[in-house]
Amino acid sequence: MRNRHKFTFIICCAVIDMIAMIFGTMLFLKIAAVEKVGLNVLFLDKMIPITILSWLFSVTYFKLYRVDVLFSLEEFFGNSWRAFFTQRILWYIYIYLFQDNILYFFGSRANLFQLSFLLFYFLISRILFALITGNIKRWVVKRYTVAIWGFNKTSIELASHLETHSYFIHFMGILNENSSENYTTNEEFSLALSDAIINASENNVNELYIVSKPDLISDLNYFFELGDKHCMRLKFVPDFSLISKKHFSSSHLDNFHVIKPRFEPLQNAYNRLVKRIFDLVFSSLVIVLILSWLYPLLAFLIKRQSKGPVLFKQMRTGKKNEPFCCYKFRSMYINVGDESQQAKKGDDRVTPIGKFLRRTSLDEFPQFFNVFMGNMSVVGPRPHMIKHTSDYNDHINNFMVRHFVKPGITGLAQVSGLRGETKTVNDMIRRVNKDIEYVQRWSLIADIKICFWTVIVTLKGDKNAF
């Protein structure tokens, strides 16, 4: 893809969006002046700067104009509306701080006209954007020509990707897709590839992807030099389709190409810092605002119904397979049965107050102390007893992947209906798959959504909570 065309398009989108946001604010000010909405001078002076700053914050946070987002229509449309509503929220917060008559302001013609204009703009502009990106190939002069050499599973997937994202390029396809040759020696492969590079150059190919098994190429530098000689960029894509059916994640460590079995956002130090700050803020608020009065109340009820400690402490498996002491409000009678046995529906070990605690998930609240101390996170895979970790690890190959991150009070598996007792290995496999999906797709927004859905599921009542 041609960076010049891409970045010109991106800059145009960003500038037009900013102009629309500023025009919306100017429209608001003009109508407010006619309508004589009571606005103080400080409020008026700062409205356009606040509009610009709040919009810049929103588009930066949702990475709206990043290349991979902008040319993925579904993601771009979703992030556009997320950025828009975030900007509106920030703008209204500013109004709340500096405007006295809030109800009158929100019902004013100035506010309604501005909001209507912006909604109309975003709806029409995104429809036009889809139409433009669908026809942009026809308008680009001297398109950059790209082709693939090598016919295999990897090259087919690469061809599909290039065809889908070929807004600014002319993709010629796989040059040797009709060839039935099967190269048995490095010499045969080298001669065929050399001829392919020369033929591609004669057909004005600007960039050629070479997709093949690494062991067929004996001297990669020779082919790069041959491509340079014909003023053509060569890119080598190793084909691992014969040795693995999975999609790898790759990165670079200086000059070393590193292949990983999966992408993990929380391996990034910045992401870990963001998650830790979220955990500290969230757990501090719960401890101060809820546990400060809930703890003594529940402690009194637990003590009154059965002898024993208020808190149930149990060693569970944490991040990096390291054990930690997990806290819960005690919901069972002490010294009754095996502690490593999972609770079942109608379990007679559960106290009357314990049934309420487990059904409403209040028994998990002391784990916010674990979160504050750094043993757990608000959101993550649920921690298991050490014995269960050992047992399931023997039956599920990727079970320990869920321990690459801190365990959580709630998680993707829990809000997906996979909470509670795991009667079979298949039940645990489904839960593990959701946990791994969380590890691979973590984001702060995902954590907030899971917290929100946890509240909804708890209020509705979870049939697996017992």
Mean pLDDT confidence for 403-413:
93
- What percent of the chain lies above the pLDDT cut of 70? 83
Whole-prediction pTM: 0.65
Superfamily name and number for 144-245: Response regulator (3.40.50.2300)
Dihedral of the alpha carbons of 341, 343, 346, 352, in degrees to the nearest 10: 110
For 339-391, the pLDDT digits (tens) are 555 555 556 678 888 888 888 888 899 999 999 999 999 999 999 888 888 88
Higher pLDDT, 46 or 383: 383
For 322-349, the pLDDT digits (tens) are 999 999 998 888 765 555 555 555 566 7
pLDDT, position 277: 94
Which range is least confidently modeled, 63-67, 441-445, 450-454? 63-67
Residue 293 has which token pair? 């009065």
The residue behind tokens 């790759």 is 250
For 263-306, the pLDDT digits (tens) are 899 988 889 999 999 999 999 999 999 999 999 999 999 988 88
Strand-pair category, 256-260 with 249-253: antiparallel
Residues across the chain: 466
Res. 402: pLDDT tops 50: yes
- Within the chain, which residue ranges are assigned CATH 3.40.50.2300? 144-245
Q: Give ∠ CA 407-413-418 in degrees, rounded to 5.
A: 125
